[in-house]
Amino acid sequence: MSESKIGCGVCRDLLPLVRDGVAGAESEAAVRAHAEECPGCAALLQGGRGAEPEPPRAPDDAAVLKKVRRKLGGAVLCLVALGALAGVGLTGGAGVFYNAAIMPLLGGAMYGFLREKGLLAAPLAVLLTLGWGALRWAAQPGTGELLGFLMYGVIYALLVLLGWLAAALLHCALKKGSGRPLWHRLGAGAAALALAAGLAGTYVQLNGEIFTRLWLTAQARSYVRQMYPEADYEAGFAVYSFKTGGYFSQVTSPSSPDTRFSVYREQGALTDSYGEFVASGRNTEERLRQELGDWAEATLRKKSGLELEFAFAEWATDEAPRVELDQLLRLDRLPAPFELTAWVVSSRADEWKALAEALLALDAAMRAEGVRPAAYSVQMRWPSGEDGQPLRYDGRSVYELPAELLDATPAAGLPAALERWNARWEAAQEKK
């Protein structure tokens, strides 16, 4: 063994043997050679501790837990923020009632990690909801809608506070060594449970019972297989209707876009709305009307030379159009005459002449495509308000105007003819 090759670790392993006189000659020589160059090992060889490093300190459990809590709390707060944004984003949609669970859970989480500071989540819920409402309002101005979002924000804030309070009461009930009397803790626990039960009951009233939804889902799928064994119908997960207080499963078909109907329970037995929506042609009729309106709006925007706020089509008949399931839209073979409604933006919205010019432009664009409505309904709109968006009140307008009147009236006399038609139409509406 080379005297110069051993390190401190090997040297300190051999030191007890050297000191006891039982080490071999080579080992002892190597230890003493190393000790000459290492003061720490030399001191140990003489029986002292020398520069021997102190044993590692035991970890501070409190500090470790604090660090873990801080990192975990940051991750949870990020999830809480995402949950708040998701909940607010449901406002104005079909899933808004899910906030009956989301907001209280967010409030409870805020108490768990921020304690009293978690109360800031309440005004934050109001601000986020108003912000979301402002974005929607910018797309479609209307103070009523913005005030509606303010109402939702206040409700969300209340739900957050109730969730925070439930968590605080539960913490008070479960915390040991707080010095509070037992009856205080029991009362806090009972209050927390009562509050949680109330919140859960509110959620069920708005969204239905999950077990009932699961049960109806299974029942609906079995029902569809029995009633329509040859079809490729698929029954979706059952949902709860707040308006009717009932549950239903939406049935669709991968091969038939117009096959959409519901399976629901009525008078204790399962039934469906296939006849009302599919067999009657209602779904097909509505799809064709929507496709016709979309085509008309796109065509008018491109070829009429007018600034349209929007346009849509309606069937100009009291009888349901005769259609076939999943039939395609054909402009040369429409299932029924239709009426075209358009809102036109114009700085001359208060002039009958401007309305006449808009009607002629709309009619010319339709006729150029080989399609002509049976009637027109046109509203003139002012170009902009203080916010730069079209104003909500109307200028001149005409409703249910037969297209033949445009053919029978010279262009110069059309403004006066429109004014007369509007007066007769309003008189007829008053009689109705």
Model pTM above 0.75 = no
Extract the tokens encoding 316: 């100009």
CA dihedral (81, 83, 85, 91) in degrees, to 10, reads: -150
50 and 87 housed in the same domain: no
124 and 174 housed in the same domain: yes
The answer to whether residues 186 and 193 touch, using CB atoms and an 8 Å cutoff, is no
| pLDDT for residue 2 | 44
CA distance linking residue 129 with residue 99, whole number of Å: 12
| pLDDT for residue 3 | 45
| pLDDT for residue 8 | 81
Extract the tokens encoding 108: 């409870």
The count of domains in the chain is 4
84 and 16 housed in the same domain: no
Burial class (CB in 10 A: 0-12, 13-18, 19+), 31: buried
Q: Tokens 């010319």, residue?
A: 364
192 and 219 housed in the same domain: no
| Boundaries of domain holding 16 | 1-55
Name, in order, each residue with C-beta under 8 angstroms of 220's C-beta and a sequence gap of 6 or more.
Answer: 235, 238, 249, 251, 263, 270
CA distance linking residue 280 with residue 272, whole number of Å: 13
On whether residue 248 sits in a domain, the answer given is: yes
DSSP codes joined into one string, 385-404: -TTSS--SSEEEEEEEEEHH
The answer to whether residues 36 and 46 touch, using CB atoms and an 8 Å cutoff, is no
Task: Kindly report the backbone phi and psi dihedral angles of residue 382, in degrees, each rounded to the nearest multiple of 5, phi listed first.
Answer: -70, 145
306 and 195 housed in the same domain: no
CA dihedral (146, 149, 154, 160) in degrees, to 10, reads: -150
Distances (CA, A) of 385 to 93, 389, 391, 393, 401: 28, 6, 6, 11, 29
Q: Are strands 394-402 and 375-381 parallel, antiparallel or unpaired?
A: antiparallel
Task: State the number of CA atoms in the 13 A half-sphere of 261 facing the CB.
Answer: 22
42 and 155 housed in the same domain: no
CA angle at residue 226 from 223 to 228, to 5 degrees?
95
| pLDDT for residue 357 | 96
| pLDDT for residue 190 | 92
Strand partners, 270: 265
- Strand, coil or helix: what is 239? strand
On whether residue 67 sits in a domain, the answer given is: no
Length of the chain: 432
Q: Are strands 375-381 and 338-345 parallel, antiparallel or unpaired?
A: parallel
Cα 416 to its chain centre, rounded Å, is 50
On whether residue 60 sits in a domain, the answer given is: no
On whether residue 61 sits in a domain, the answer given is: no
- Strand, coil or helix: what is 270? strand
255 and 171 housed in the same domain: no
Domain boundary among 257, 275, 293: 275
| pLDDT for residue 28 | 82
| pLDDT for residue 11 | 80
| pLDDT for residue 390 | 53
| pLDDT for residue 220 | 96
184 and 312 housed in the same domain: no
147 and 45 housed in the same domain: no
| pLDDT for residue 252 | 97
Domain boundary among 179, 207, 235: 207
Q: Using alpha carbons, select from 340, 363, 365, 344 the residue that is nearest to residue 289.
A: 340
162 and 230 housed in the same domain: no
CA distance linking residue 368 with residue 341, whole number of Å: 18
On whether residue 30 sits in a domain, the answer given is: yes
Extract the tokens encoding 253: 């078909």
Domain boundary among 207, 232, 258: 207
Written as one letter, the residue type at 127 is L
Q: Note down pLDDT in tens along the chain; length 432 residues.
A: 444 468 787 787 777 877 777 777 787 888 888 878 888 787 777 764 444 444 555 555 566 666 666 666 566 667 777 777 888 888 877 788 888 999 999 999 888 888 888 888 888 888 888 888 888 777 765 545 677 888 998 999 999 999 999 999 998 888 876 667 878 888 888 999 999 999 999 988 888 899 999 999 999 999 999 999 999 999 999 999 888 889 999 999 999 999 999 999 988 899 999 999 999 999 999 999 999 999 999 999 999 999 998 999 999 988 888 899 999 999 999 999 999 999 999 989 989 999 999 999 999 999 999 999 999 999 998 886 555 555 556 789 999 999 999 999 999 999 999 999 999 999 999 887
State the greatest distance between any 2 C-alpha atoms of the chain, in Å, as a whole number.
131
| pLDDT for residue 61 | 58
Task: Kindly report the backbone phi and psi dihedral angles of residue 100, in degrees, each rounded to the nearest multiple of 5, phi listed first.
Answer: -65, -20
On whether residue 9 sits in a domain, the answer given is: yes
105 and 197 housed in the same domain: yes
The answer to whether residues 398 and 414 touch, using CB atoms and an 8 Å cutoff, is no
On whether residue 414 sits in a domain, the answer given is: yes
On whether residue 70 sits in a domain, the answer given is: no
232 and 181 housed in the same domain: no
